[in-house]
Amino acid sequence: MGQVSEVDGLGVKKLKFSVLAKCFEFLEGTSSRLEMTDILANLFKDCTTEEIDKVVYMLQGTVAPPFRGIEIGMGEKFVQQAVSNASGVPKEEVVKQYKTLGDLGDVASNILPKKEGVLTVSQVYDAFMKIATASGKGTQEVRINALTELLKNSSPEEAKYLVRIPLGKLRLGVGDATIIDALSVRTVGDKSMREEIERAYNLCCDMGLVAKTLYTDREAITNFQIKVGNPIKPALAERLSSAEEIIEKIGECYVEAKYDGFRIQLHKEGDKIELFSRRIERMTHMFPEIVQAAKEQIKGDAIIEGETISYDESTGEFLPFQFTIRRKRKHGVEEMAEQYPAIYFAFDILYNGKDLTQKPYLERRNILEQTITEGEIIKISEKIRTGDPQELMRFFNENIGRGLEGIVAKDLNAPYIAGARKFAWIKLKRSYKGELADTVDVTIVGYLAGRGSRAKMVGALLGAVYDEETETFKTVAKIGSGMTEEQMINLKKMLDQIKVEKKPKNVDSLITPDVWTQPQYVITVSADEITLSPSHTCGRTKDLGYALRFPRMISWIRQDKKPEDSTTVKEIIQMYNIQKHAKTE
C-alpha cells in the first residue's frame, strides 16, 4: 500500500486516506469474508487510538452510529457540482459522463487531475462531519465547498470513494460481524475475542466506540458497561408451533400478550428521555406523549423495552401495525398523535441505575413492575404465569380474540440476551387456514417489470432473507400479490432510486430480475407454506433451496426494520421443520 502515514508538526503519525481508499478497493474486489477480515485486520493495525473510530465509521459509510441521527447524505446534483468545481470540468460534462458510467465515483476518478493525494483519514472525517452537521442558511453551499476541497486535495483513486460516501453508495459488502472479526484478529491474532467484542457492541450499538474502547483499554471490553442514551440491541424470540412444545421446552413461564406494534426502547436519565426503534434509530420526537408520560410514570433512571401500538379512541380497539407506523415521521407529529394516539406496553427492564441484563427474567419483571406507575399512556404488558399448555392456549385465544398477534412465552430464569434469538423467548402467533404459522420479513433485492399497461408498475418483487453466516441475502420468493396498483407504482419509483447495474455483491441469486436494487427495503409477506425449490438460494444444498409458496405482501415497507433484520435463513429452515412436524400430527 506504500506509505501508510505522515507525521504532523507535533510528531504525531496520521493515517493517510489513500490507505483507506486502497482498502476500499481491495474490499470491493472480493466477496470472501475471510479475505475481507484479513484486509481489515491489516488496516486496523495501522490505525491509532485517535483514528480507529473514524475509520470504522467510514467503513460503515457514516460519521456516527445511526441513533445519533447524523447523516453525511448529499444529493447527486450537489455532488456533481463539487466534482465540477474540483476538476474544472463543466457540470454538463460531469452529468454526461455520469449517464455513461452510471457511477459518480467513477466519473470523479476519471476526470480529476492525476496526482498524489495529501489527505489524512482525520481530515476527511472532519470534513464529512462538517457536511453532515451543516445547518441553516447556505447549508448546501457549505457542503459543496467542503466536498470540493476534499476532491481538490485527493488522487483520482481517493476521489472515487470521497464521492461514494456522501451519496450512500460505498457498497463494500462489509457487515458488522466482519468488522468484529477483524478487530479480534488485529488484537489477539485470531477470532477468539469475537464474543467479547460482539457483546460490547450489542450493549451500545456503536462500533466506533467499541473499537476505540478496545484500543484504549482491552479489559474495558470484557467489562463493558451499559450507558443510558446508547441503545441496546433487542433480544429476539424463537418460534414453536404449539403450547405443548413451549411448555416442554421451558417449563413454567410467564406468557405475555404479543402486540402488533412498533418496538421501542425507552431510555430515561433524570428528565431526559430518548426513544429508539429496533433499527436503532432515534424516535424521541415522534412520540411526544410517551416522552411526557415517561417523566411522570417511570421512577429513576432506566432503560425499558416495550411495544408502542396505536388505538381507536372511540372504540378502544388496537389498530394494526400499518396505522402505528404512520407515526414515524419528521413533520406533522402532533396531528398524527391526535389521529393515532399510542399506548406503550412495557415488557422488560434492562437498567435501573445498574445493568440488569444478567438478572433472570422473573427478577427483571418484578423490578419493571416496581419501576412503572401505570397510567393512560405507559402500561405494563399483560401476562399470566403457567406451566399448563391448556391455560397457555386459553390466554393465546383470548388475545387473538382481541385482535392481537398472539403471545410470547418467557423463560423465568433466562438473562436478557442482547442481539440474539434464543429460546429464552418463544412466540406463538395466529395463523389462518392455508397460511404459514408466521409471517416472513424479506428484503427487496430487485424486481420484474410490469408489462404493457402495467409498465409503470413493478410486476413482481424479488425477495431475499438474510444469511448471518455469510452476511449475504439469499432469495426466497418472487412476490406479485397483495399489492394495490398504487403501491406497485410507488414501489417502482422507490426502487428505481436505488437500482444498480449489476447484482449487488452481498446478494446470492440464481434468478436475474429486470432491475437489481441495493438491499434496503424490508416488507412483510405471508405464504401458504415453505417448499423446496431449485430456483432459490435460501438454505441451498444439493441443488435445492427453500422458497415461499404463493407469497403475498401484507404490509408496506417496514420502516422499523433494516435489511439485516429480515427473517434469517436459519429461521426459514426452522419454520420449514415446524411446518413438516405439524403436517405429520
How far is the C-alpha of 450 from the C-alpha of 456, rounded, in Å? Answer: 7
Active site residue 258: yes
- Secondary structure class of 251 (helix, strand, coil): coil
Whole-Å CA distances, 453 to 450, 457, 484, 488: 8, 9, 15, 13
How far is the C-alpha of 286 from the C-alpha of 387, rounded, in Å? Answer: 39
Check if the beta carbon of residue 74 is closer than 8 Å to that of residue 287: no
Residues 6+ apart with CB under 8 A from 450: 456, 457, 458, 459, 488, 492
Q: What residues form DSSP beta bridges with 16?
A: 120
Residues 6+ apart with CB under 8 A from 485: 457
Cα–chain-centroid distance for residue 390? Answer: 37
How far is the C-alpha of 246 from the C-alpha of 239, rounded, in Å? Answer: 9
Length of the chain: 585
> Residue 213: which of 228, 196, 191 has the closest Cα?
196
Query: Strand 378-380 vs strand 342-351: parallel, antiparallel, or unpaired?
Result: parallel
How far is the C-alpha of 353 from the C-alpha of 227, rounded, in Å? Answer: 10
How far is the C-alpha of 44 from the C-alpha of 189, rounded, in Å? Answer: 12
How far is the C-alpha of 216 from the C-alpha of 208, rounded, in Å? Answer: 12
Grid coordinates given for 330: 419528521
How far is the C-alpha of 245 from the C-alpha of 232, rounded, in Å? Answer: 30
- Secondary structure class of 392 (helix, strand, coil): helix
Grid coordinates given for 339: 389521529
Residues 6+ apart with CB under 8 A from 34: none
Question: For the chain, what is the largest distance between any 2 Cα atoms, rounded to a whole number of angstroms?
Answer: 76
Q: What residues form DSSP beta bridges with 306?
A: 264, 346
Catalytic residue among 160, 212, 233, 258: 258
> Residue 22: which of 148, 130, 117, 123 has the closest Cα?
117
Q: Which amino acid is at 319?
A: L
- Secondary structure class of 342 (helix, strand, coil): strand
> Inter-axis angle of helices 104-111 and 76-87, to 10 degrees?
10
Grid coordinates given for 340: 393515532
What is the set of active-site residues?
258
